[in-house]
Structure 1
Amino acid sequence: MRRDVFQAIADPTRREIINLVVQKPLNLNAIAEKFDISRPAISKHIKILKECGLIVIEQHGRERYCEAKLDKLNEISEWVEQYRQFWERKLDSLENYLNELQKIKKDENSTK
């Protein structure tokens, strides 16, 4: 199954794992201790994050450390940006329309 960054951040546990490892690299046990779910469940979440390119796992001696690699979040930023621009144009148009209505109303009141 091909996973993408949107699937990775869709789950609150995975978002929290990202928040943890963005602060500093953590080993798998340290991450698992932060949650009330099983170690295998955490491992599955980490596997998904790794597949999506949001974390890398590096071996340091006998320990495996997860480190955030957030470049892939740019995909989300770019996707959101198109909608931000869309709504910005719509709201600008609404503002212009309301300003025009206000001007018309003001002109009508001044001629009375």
Structure 2
Amino acid sequence: MELQEYLKYVSSRVNEFMEELVRGEPKEIYEAAMHLIRAGGKRLRPAIAMLSGRIAGGAEGEENALPGAAAVEIFHNFTLIHDDIIDRDEFRRGVPTVHKLWGVELAIVAGDLLYA
């Protein structure tokens, strides 16, 4: 499998996992928390985690690495939400930042939700 193909595969798997994991009530907070995750990104961090799992344990190791790979990406997105607030950025990944759409207070809570 070529690198670009593998990155697409990892992105798809990790995105599905995060969609299942980061959902709940109140919906507005969870929608804000998922905003940047849904906007895309390279997903290099989870790809490294899953590839490490494959190297260490084959296909089963790669599958076992999926929760950790998603956790790394979720944590990364928490840092981006808070960074955008501090830097007063208006766009990230081609979409408005979380605090621009939902306000600073809700963006902080959304980032904290991803951290937790």
User: Considering the TM-score relative to the shorter chain, is it more than 0.5?
Assistant: no
**Greater helix share, structure number:** 2
In our comparison, the structure showing a higher alpha carbon Rg is 1
**Greater strand share, structure number:** 1
